[in-house]
Amino acid sequence: MTDNSLSEALLAEHRQVLFRYALLQMRDPELADDAVQETLLSAWQGSAGFAGKASLRTWLIGILKHKIADHWRRSAHDPVLTDSHRLDAAEDAEADEDAFFMSNGHWHSGPSAWNDPEAAFRQQEFWTVYETCQNNLPPKMAKVFMLRELVGLEADEVCREAGLTETNYWVVMHRARLRLRECLEIRWFNSQKQEK
């Protein structure tokens, strides 16, 4: 044990989430790893600054964001994903969902059955299709989806990150799932059927 209120072990628990968060923004494992190291180090050194108001992870992500921003400032690179992608509201949410449903609330063309979908995990081509479909989401929607599903933040953490109300969050995630699902069906599962 140290005199610090935050032990290294406690900080290390958040390493994976921080790393994925950094990686999504920096797209380079070494840079991401550096940023996380620096974050954990400053957190450990400055753990007195952790007021315990926010959750520990929220506090750590706050530090990480500064480290990432420092990096962009030094390298004068364009950040890949920034907070300029903040979501204002779910303005066109209704129109977006209208593409999937008829006015009586039934599916336009409902999801069809996928045969043994998890077998696709073993195929490299599937992951290429998956990535394409994920990148086809509008940027703000993609960010929310990735923070939740890839980075592994909790829903309320994503809301804080993206500046979303809870209601907008549900709408955005649902739209992302509808779009991603349709894309995977068209580009992978239907074309697999035809080949057989």
Q: Helices in the chain by DSSP H: which ranges? A: 8-12, 15-26, 29-45, 56-75, 93-98, 124-135, 139-146, 155-162, 166-184, 190-195
In angstroms, rounded to a whole number, what is the distance separating the alpha carbons of residues 125 and 112? Answer: 21
Q: In degrees rounded to 5, what are phi and psi of residue 170?
A: -60, -40
Binding another protein by CB under 8 A: which of 152, 163, 191, 193? 152
Query: Of 4-12, 38-46, 57-65, 99-107, which part binds another protein (CB under 8 A)?
Result: 99-107
Q: Does 192 bind another protein (CB under 8 A)?
A: no
**How many residues would you count in the chain?**
196
Query: Of 3-11, 43-51, 66-74, 148-156, which part binds another protein (CB under 8 A)?
Result: 148-156
Residues 68-87 within binding reach of another protein (CB under 8 A): none
Question: Which residues in this chain contact another protein in the complex, by CB under 8 A?
Answer: 19-20, 23-24, 27-29, 32, 97, 100-101, 104-107, 110-114, 117-118, 121, 127, 130-131, 134, 145-146, 148-152, 155, 169-170, 173-174, 177-178, 180-181, 184-185
